[in-house]
Structures are given as structure tokens and as C-alpha cells.
A = this chain, B = another copy of it.
Amino acid sequence: VLRTRLTDRFGLDHPVISAPMGVAAGGVLAGAVSRAGGLGLIGVGYADEDWLREQQRLAGDTPVGVGFITFRLAGDPRLLDVAIDSAPAAICLSFANPAPYVARIRDAGIPLLCQVQTLRDARHVLDLGVDVIVAQGTEAGGHGERRTTMTLVPEIADLIAGRSPETLLCAAGGISDGRGLAAAIALGADGVLVGTRLWASQEAIVHPAEHRAVVAATGDDTIRSRVIDIVKGFDIWPARFDIRTLRSATTDRWHGRESELRAVADEEVARFADAMARGDAEQAGATVGEAIGLIHDIAPAREILRRLTVEAEAVLRAGATLAR
């Protein structure tokens, strides 16, 4: 057992939260993670309240949390009500300013996680009184920014130690095995948010062809780009965020030529939707992070959590034997 402030505070067996990956992290995955002793989050992404209710049903009786793209809540305020009414284990807000939503979540007594990508953002959400800061490095799959887990986590740990020591810190980005979990703890995190490794689980909502493509790839094969947002028809993101995916024929063709792509966006959106539906991994490019080079199978979520902590324990024990 790997016991941290995160496992103590949330009553977990593993210091692991599943990332609220839009589409991939539905109720089946979130429920499996929570039942295995982690904290499972449903990733609402671009979905609506009917989808969220259905996923909450699929999660079963085990408490799970809900993760939102913060700036989507402005356009669909009912979504947050649905989440709050279900008394989730946590609510996680990522991307854009969470300030308008903090009071409602706190008044409902729901633990609030905020995912940040810079020290500046961390200062802001600390002022808002969040319970857990998730420091997301650029290695992460999906939307994110430029700073890396390796330096962002200890820098935010120092900020927390100086201003609000009871706030918890989780590392996100690049963590797919026990070495990454052990490293995150060494850097000052109380736990980790795991996306890509759980994307590569049997419970994730992922096309089998995308799973196969990712197991075969190395960490050299991902790219941060705006291209995928454009061809998905979601060219709505603040300029600071882009999206990391597997490199694909689509990113190879358009990365660096975004203005040209926008000029033919309608056509390319249709083409991409078709490729996604066919599970054409070569065109589509799975939404995964750099840690794919450490992933060699599609395992059950419970087994993934078990490996993470068993390996991390072994790594930490071995590390201590070097210090003598």
C-alpha cells in the first residue's frame, strides 16, 4: 500500500485519480477505477447532461467524480447542476478560470480539483480555495500547454507549502507506470492524475484500432498541435491550449499550416469524422500523451492501478537503499 495525504483524505487504496478524458473516460472506466481503490472521474468533454446522467448510471453504486472543461460550463450551466445534484466524489475543473463555479461546488460540500498548467494559474486557484491542485505538464495527452511535470510540480509544491499547506497536489502528464508515480511523489505530489495509461484500459471508450496503434507507438510519436481541434470542429479553444495526440496523416499534413486548414475546415471536418467512425487510426490520431512509449498492453483498470502502486513501492524502496 502506498499511503499519502491523497489516499488519507479521499479514503483511497491507491494515490491515483483517473483523468476526465472527454469521450474515453465514461462511467464504466470511472466506476472501475473507484472500485479498484482509486478515484474515478467521468470526463464530460463536449457532451451534454443526458450523456452525463447515462455515464453516472453506468458507473454503478461506487462514488465517482466528474470532470469538466471549465469554459464549456458557461454555455451549458445545467451541466454543473446535474453533477452537483448527484453528490459526486469530486468535481474537477480544467482550462479557463474556475472562479464563477467555486462557491456552488464548495457550498455543496464537494471536493474541488482544479487542473492548472502554469505557476500563475496555481496561484490563482489557491486564492480561490481549491482542495486539490492538479499540475498538468505538457507531456499529457489531450489539451494542455508547455510547462513540464518535472518542474511544475515542485514549483507548485513550494507555493502550496508557503501559502496553504493543507491543499493537496497531484501531478498529471507523463505518468503511466510505477516509476512515474514514484517520481511524482519525489517531486512533492500527494498523488497522480493518470490519463493515457487508463485510456489504454479495457474500460475506456476507445476504438480497438486506436488502442492497437498506441500500443505499437513510441513516445516520439505524439505531437502538440491545433490541427486536431480544427478538424474535429472544435476550433473554440483559448490560444494558450493545444492538444497532444498521436501523430497522424492529418497532423503531418496540416501542422504549421493552420490558416490554410481553416480555409477548408468544413471539408476536413467531414473527412475526419468519417475517419474516426471507421477507426482509421492512421488518419485520426488517438488523443494520448508522451507516456505511450511505456504502454505495451490494454489492461483492466484494476490491474493498471495495482501495477502503478506495486512498482512505485518497489522503486521508492530501492531508491532509499542508494542513500547510505
Contact = CB atoms under 8 A, between A and B. Distances in A.
A171 to B, nearest CB: 9
A179 B154 CA distance: 7
A309 to B, nearest CB: 8
A148 B154 contact: no
Copies of this chain held together in the complex? 2
Contacts of A218: 119-120, 155
Contact of A150 (B3, B149, B157, B158): B149
Contacts of A176: 151
A186 interface: yes
A53 interface: no
Chain A interface mostly helix, strand, loop or mixed? helix
A152 B219 contact: yes
Interface string A25-44: 00000000000000000000
A138 interface: yes
Interface in A168-201: 173-177, 179-180, 182-188
28 contacts: A1-B323, A3-B324, A120-B218, A120-B220, A138-B148, A139-B150, A147-B219, A148-B149, A148-B150, A148-B173, A148-B290, A149-B150, A150-B173, A150-B183, A150-B291, A154-B177, A154-B179, A154-B180, A154-B294, A155-B293, A157-B179, A179-B186, A185-B322, A186-B186, A186-B315, A313-B323, A319-B319, A319-B320
